[in-house]
């Protein structure tokens, strides 16, 4: 078992234990964890964990579920059965064939009972009332039923396909054991793979798809042009439904969105479909082909990770036209396809293909997936902004945004050298990692929409990204969000007050976060929380008191006919909650409020700073800012000293100073000038005297001229270990040059920063400082 797999199993165990007080059953804790991590990736739609059984008159279990999901199109229903056993040592349990078959049979039994009208015998407050009622009322609309067996153990792949007891539906059996969960959460992709096997899959063996191939002479991608038989398109959608459309495209709503022109063509002139229709644009990870014996024709034999970027309406309309009109003959129907295979990860490729190729139906901009500008910029900020070192240990850490599930572990595993791997983990600690689900939930809650945040991770994130996909986040957005996250995690992570809420903890955490911002009129200083990387004791006590009073009111107001979750999801509940009169001690948290003009100062900082001003601040060097931070007293406040340490850390790690840091540095430099102290005296207070920044090109060039060829060899090797990737590339390129007389200021700065780092980190190992 790999170290990464062990870490994943530990993560699962820890998360299940954290969720246990909320849900009461380990199986439900595990189900909730799986749905949270796999919901969007598997295109499940609205997913909910809940435990429900159906018994006959003899009290034998006939049906049982641990969760359910309804797809965005409403045509696919997923039911989940969970087999969870505490880990016995390091090895997961092996699920027996009998236990697996029992799980599948109970899922089918539940679905069939729902069809028969079980919802009419249930209380509307029952956890599974929604899914029972949906299945009963939408039996004709449901085309695919997916039955998932999920487990923290392992399931052998050679189990026989269970007997189908659900009639007249496309039934799909799926097993998510610990290996499958690990693979899918660490794939680096934002969706599950749809693979098409023309050789061995009985649904596709009859189809022979010839093609024309074109290889780009510039970028690493191939394009295949092919004509797809209408029968193949029908079968492809029948088997996969909206899973085909996961990458950047959302399904139009069933009958209402179905293209009447497409249906009319299929009914009256199917042979003209190819002439009338624009066809499909799709992508794949890999395409395998084969030649005929005479090598005259090539056929596609396998497509890995097939995704339709443009033409989802065409694909679905062919399926529904045939479904609603069985007499339609698809034998003469063909659809042209442009299939693009990327040979390397070109991150902006998918969204741009979607953007420029889609001409049939307007795409919701929020669906440009994880590669949109907002997510890309937020990832960039998370890698560059250094968190304040509140313990003054000289540690450099980042809050790591996991844009795609499993990205963090991929970044760790990509590093082969153990010291470098440990350095990455140290600078990007797992406890400071957050993902899209937390981003949407926390931000939406804080900004007064707890009713939306409770709706589940996919709906919540979709609501969030609809607002932000055309916006570009800056450092203020990032720092403020991290502060919101710190508040949320204080409540969510093993807080004894919130543990007392048991199964209602998730809703109470979201409502308390929203109410905190509401009752303080938005005056909580998120910037102070960011600077302190934590909450004051007074603010913690205030939050605890707020949550207790809120809990008492909400539980009294909730109708007996409603679940607490459904009650909290109602916008009316939130509107009523905002009017509650609570008895809170605001005087205890005045130090946690924003300082005068705090927002205006931070915004003005972002507008006024030039590159020249930034360089002036950087020119004072690491030793100066480190020494200045030690002057905590009458001259500088504790908050200002923490800001100085942030500047020192950013310079040490070769990170560009943010606009706010430069703005605040300028204010502190004014105070320093007024104090009458000498710069040399401040530097003398620092133990980082070897790290300094040259003030002009001449001084830097003179320093570099002294380096011998052996020195350059040493610098080139060490740069790869201690510098960021960008600086390391610059240093290596300069080291390889014969003539270094025409280096630009930026190049000189990078080399000198690198020399400073080498002198500081290896002062005991090098004979003479560079």
Do 387 and 522 have their domain in common? yes
Check whether 583 has a pLDDT greater than 90.
yes
Do 582 and 630 have their domain in common? no
Do 170 and 204 have their domain in common? no
CB-hemisphere CA count at 13 Å for 241?
25
Of 529, 560, 594, which closes a domain?
A: 594
Residue 506 lies in a domain: yes
* pLDDT of res. 4: 80
Residue 766 lies in a domain: no
Residue 690 lies in a domain: no
> How many CB atoms neighbour CB 210 within 10 A?
14
* pLDDT of res. 366: 36
Do 400 and 529 have their domain in common? yes
Model confidence, pTM? 0.58
* pLDDT of res. 10: 86
Check whether 251 has a pLDDT greater than 50.
no
Check whether 369 has a pLDDT greater than 70.
no
* pLDDT of res. 499: 78
* pLDDT of res. 273: 93
Residue 276 lies in a domain: yes
Considering the chain, what is the average pLDDT of its residues? 84
CB 121 within 8 Å of CB 149 = no
Predicted confidence band of residue 1 (pLDDT cuts 50, 70, 90):
confident
The two structure tokens encoding residue 285: 């990870």
Do 24 and 142 have their domain in common? yes
Measure CA of the first residue to CA of the last residue in the chain; give whole Å.
Answer: 45
- Rounded average pLDDT over 400-409: 86
Enumerate residues 6+ apart whose C-beta is below 8 A from 259.
Answer: 313, 314, 317, 360
The count of structural domains within the chain is 5
Enumerate residues 6+ apart whose C-beta is below 8 A from 325.
Answer: 263, 266, 267
Predicted confidence band of residue 694 (pLDDT cuts 50, 70, 90):
very low
Do 31 and 173 have their domain in common? yes
Higher-scoring residue by pLDDT: 200, 84 = 84
The per-residue pLDDT for range 317-332, each reduced to its tens digit, is 898 889 888 899 999 9
182-191, 220-229, 490-499, 746-755: which is most confident:
220-229
- Rounded average pLDDT over 220-239: 92
Check whether 345 has a pLDDT greater than 80.
no
The per-residue pLDDT for range 509-540, each reduced to its tens digit, is 999 999 999 999 999 999 999 989 999 999 99
Residue 600 lies in a domain: no
Cα angle: 729, vertex 732, 733; to 5 degrees? 85
Residue 191 lies in a domain: no
Higher-scoring residue by pLDDT: 429, 191 = 429
The per-residue pLDDT for range 51-104, each reduced to its tens digit, is 999 888 888 899 999 999 998 778 889 999 999 988 766 788 899 999 999 999
CB 263 within 8 Å of CB 373 = no
- Rounded average pLDDT over 229-243: 88
Predicted confidence band of residue 184 (pLDDT cuts 50, 70, 90):
confident
Check whether 359 has a pLDDT greater than 50.
no
389-393, 686-690, 754-758: which is most confident:
754-758
Q: Which of 161-170, 301-310, 683-692 is the least confident region? A: 683-692
Check whether 437 has a pLDDT greater than 50.
yes
DSSP letter at 634 equals T
Check whether 443 has a pLDDT greater than 90.
yes
Structural domain of residue 752, as residue ranges? 697-761
Predicted confidence band of residue 228 (pLDDT cuts 50, 70, 90):
very high
Region of 155 on the Ramachandran plot (φ > 0 left; ψ -120 to 50 alpha; else beta): beta
Q: How far is CA 573 from CA 47, 161, 233, 576, 749, in A?
A: 22, 46, 46, 5, 58
Residue 599 lies in a domain: no
- Rounded average pLDDT over 336-342: 92
CA dihedral for 739, 741, 743, 747, sign (positive or negative)? positive
Do 209 and 137 have their domain in common? no
- Rounded average pLDDT over 213-232: 87
Do 576 and 716 have their domain in common? no
């Amino acid at each position: 078992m790999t170290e990464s797999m062990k870490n994943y199993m530990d993560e699962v165990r820890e998360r299940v234990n954290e969720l246990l007080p909320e849900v009461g059953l380990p199986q439900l804790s595990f189900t909730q964890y799986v749905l949270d991590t796999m919901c969007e990736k598997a295109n499940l739609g609205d997913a909910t964990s809940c435990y429900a059984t159906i018994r006959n008159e003899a009290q034998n279990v006939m049906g049982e579920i641990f969760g359910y999901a309804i797809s965005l199109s409403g045509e696919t229903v997923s039911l989940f059965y969970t087999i969870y056993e505490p880990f016995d040592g390091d090895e997961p349990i092996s699920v027996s064939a009998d236990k697996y078959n029992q799980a599948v049979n109970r899922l089918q039994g539940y679905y069939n009972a729902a069809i028969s009208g079980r919802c009419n015998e249930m209380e509307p407050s029952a956890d599974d009332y929604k899914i029972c009622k949906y299945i009963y009322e939408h039996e004709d609309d449901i085309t695919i039923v997916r039955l998932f067996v999920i487990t923290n153990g392992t399931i052998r792949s050679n189990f026989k396909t269970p007997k189908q007891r659900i009639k007249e539906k496309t039934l799909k059996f799926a097993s998510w054991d610990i290996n499958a969960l690990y693979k899918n959460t660490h794939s680096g992709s934002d969706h599950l793979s749809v693979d098409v096997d023309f050789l061995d899959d009985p649904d596709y063996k009859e189809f022979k798809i010839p093609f024309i191939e074109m290889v780009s002479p510039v970028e690493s991608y191939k394009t295949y042009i092919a004509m797809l038989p209408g029968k193949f398109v029908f079968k492809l959608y029948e088997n996969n439904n909206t899973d085909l459309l996961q990458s950047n495209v959302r399904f139009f709503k069933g009958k209402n969105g179905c293209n009447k022109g497409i249906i009319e063509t299929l009914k009256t002139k199917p042979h003209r479909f190819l002439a009338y229709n624009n066809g499909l644009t799709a992508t794949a990870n890999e395409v395998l082909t084969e030649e005929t014996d005479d090598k005259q024709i090539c056929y596609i034999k396998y497509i890995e990770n097939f995704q339709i970027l443009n033409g989802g309406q065409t694909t679905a309309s062919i399926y529904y036209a045939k479904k609603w009109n069985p007499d339609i003959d698809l034998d003469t129907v063909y659809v042209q396809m442009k299939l693009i295979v990327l040979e390397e990860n070109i991150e902006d490729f998918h969204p741009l293909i979607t953007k420029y190729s889609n001409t049939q139906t307007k795409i919701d901009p929020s669906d440009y997936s994880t590669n949109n500008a907002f997510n890309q910029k937020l990832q960039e900020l998370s890698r560059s902004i250094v968190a304040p070192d509140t313990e003054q240990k000289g540690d450099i850490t980042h809050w790591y945004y996991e844009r795609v599930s499993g990205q963090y572990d991929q970044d760790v595993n990509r590093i082969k050298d153990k010291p470098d791997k440990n350095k990455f983990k140290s600078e990007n600690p797992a406890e400071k990692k957050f993902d899209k689900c937390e981003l949407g939930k926390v931000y939406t809650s804080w900004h007064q929409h707890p009713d939306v945040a409770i709706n589940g991770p996919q709906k919540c994130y979709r609501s969030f990204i609809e607002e932000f996909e055309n916006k570009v986040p800056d450092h203020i957005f990032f720092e403020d969000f991290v502060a919101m996250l710190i508040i949320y995690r204080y409540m969510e992570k093993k807080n004894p007050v919130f543990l007392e809420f048991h199964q209602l903890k998730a809703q109470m955490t979201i409502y308390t976060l929203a109410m905190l911002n509401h009752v303080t009129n938005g005056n909580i200083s998120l910037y102070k929380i960011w600077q302190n990387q934590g909450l004051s004791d007074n603010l913690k006590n205030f939050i605890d008191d707020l949550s207790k009073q809120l809990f008492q009111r909400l539980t009294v107001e909730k109708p007996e006919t409603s679940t607490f979750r459904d009650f909290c999801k109602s916008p009316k509940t939130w509107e009523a909650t905002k009017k509650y009169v609570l008895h809170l001690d605001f005087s205890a948290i005045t130090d946690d409020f924003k300082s005068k003009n705090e927002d205006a100062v931070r915004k003005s900082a972002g507008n006024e700073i030039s590159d020249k001003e930034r360089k002036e601040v950087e020119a004072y060097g690491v030793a100066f800012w480190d020494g200045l931070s030690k002057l905590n007293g009458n001259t500088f406040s504790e908050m200002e000293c923490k800001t100085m340490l942030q500047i020192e850390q950013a310079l040490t790690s070769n990170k560009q100073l943010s606009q706010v840091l430069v703005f605040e540095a300028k204010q502190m430099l004014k105070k320093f000038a007024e104090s009458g102290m000498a710069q040399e005296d401040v530097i003398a207070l620092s133990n980082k005297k070897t790290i300094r920044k040259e003030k002009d090109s001449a001084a830097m060039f003179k320093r570099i001229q002294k380096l011998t060829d052996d020195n350059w060899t040493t610098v080139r090797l060490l740069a790869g270990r201690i510098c960021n990737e960008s600086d390391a590339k610059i240093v290596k390129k300069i080291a390889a040059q014969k003539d270094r007389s025409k280096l630009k200021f930026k190049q000189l700065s990078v080399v000198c920063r690198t020399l400073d780092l080498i002198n500081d980190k290896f002062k005991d190992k090098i004979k003479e400082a560079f």
